[in-house]
Amino acid sequence: MSTTLPKELTSAPPQVPNVLLSFPAPYVLLITLNRPAQLNAIPSASHLPLANLYNWYDSEPHLRACILTGSGRTFCAGADLKEWDSRHTKGEASNHSQKWTSAGFGGLSNRTGKKPVIAAVNGLCLGGGMEMAVNCDLVVASDKAKFGLPEVKRGVIALAGALPRVIRTVGRQRAGEMALLGRMYDARQMRDWGLVNEVVEGDVVREAVKVAEELARNSPDAVIVTREGLRLGWEGVGPELGTEIVEKGIYGRIDGAENMAEGVRSFVEKREPVWRDTWSSYG
């Protein structure tokens, strides 16, 4: 795939650490998260650059479709929990406003934007990775992909917009199963539940490029306006407002507290967490 900038672009894309950019077809931008050794976990310093990258994509008249994927065997395993554990060890709370912008995790989980983004889910899609995927316009998944919101297993919650979006897509009971039990699901299950458009045996990026090319053949103006109509019909103010209410309310009772620190540390130490019954002490 070509990494050469198309001559039609009016400006160069912003630089994002650990991200590869390519242009696999006319009008199509491919963003590849490139931290395979860390399962493409996104560190806090990358959220703003990624948001700036999507803003750049929206501003470039030549680009009509964007694909997000990951290198190696993982789409994105979410936040960098080793970084979180380091902050908790230092006594720092995980104020989400310091971790990402209003566009959410990876600049995408709460992104409104103008133009569509297609998720090419090549492998593990967990936590923040799942939060990004559920806010994409289309999701193409490998038959080897695995999806989940395992935050409750680590003493945290999915606070980047996925909870209200998932419940609107799959319904209360299925969303409860996903978010309260923290289970993992294969791509076909997610297709049956409406979170995945297509399951691919083989090269998922190649198939996503075909979808992007089909999308790019449509009127870019009509796509932008149609997408906005779909977004307003699906969201209204619900997900953003719901996330803000949780963040400013009950989340403050667990942020940086003992079980959150334990969940993250147990992941880093590769052991089962030992929860403490400390909820009543949060006020």
173 in a structural domain? yes
User: Taking the CB of residue 107, how many other CB atoms lie within 10 A of it?
Assistant: 26
Instruction: Calculate mean pLDDT across residues 80-92.
Output: 63
The two tokens of residue 113 are 């934007």
Tens digit of each residue's pLDDT (9 = 90 or more) over 144-202: 999 999 999 988 888 888 999 999 999 999 999 999 999 999 999 999 999 999 999 99
In a domain, 163, yes or no: yes
Query: What's the rounded Cα separation, in Å, for the pair 195 and 200?
Result: 14
In a domain, 61, yes or no: yes
Look at residue 142 and tell me whether its pLDDT is greater than 70. yes
Residues of the chain with pLDDT > 90, as a percent, come to 64
Which comes out higher in pLDDT, residue 95 or 129? 129
Is residue 204, in this structure, part of any structural domain at all? yes
Antiparallel, parallel or unpaired: β 124-126 and 117-121: unpaired
In a domain, 52, yes or no: yes
Average pLDDT over the chain, rounded to an integer: 88
For residue 190, the tally of other CB atoms under 10 A from its CB is 27
Tokens of residue 97, six digits: 């406003």
Give residue-wise pLDDT tens across range 38-84.
999 999 999 999 999 999 999 999 999 999 999 999 999 998 877 76
Catalytic residue among 83, 151, 207, 262: 151
Number of structural domains the chain divides into? 1
| Residue 46 belongs to some domain of the structure | yes
Indicate yes or no: pTM above 0.85: yes
Q: Is residue 3 part of a domain?
A: no
CA–CA distance, 209 with 213 (Å, rounded to integer): 6
In a domain, 10, yes or no: no
Catalytic residue selected from 8, 60, 83, 131 = 131
- pLDDT band, very low/low/confident/very high, at 254 (cuts 50, 70, 90): confident
Q: Is 151 a catalytic residue?
A: yes
Q: What is the CATH number of the domain that holds 183?
A: 3.90.226.10
Pairing label, strands 74-76, 65-70: unpaired
With H, G, I as helix, E, B as strand and everything else as coil, classify residue 213: helix
- By residue range, what is the domain housing residue 272? 19-282
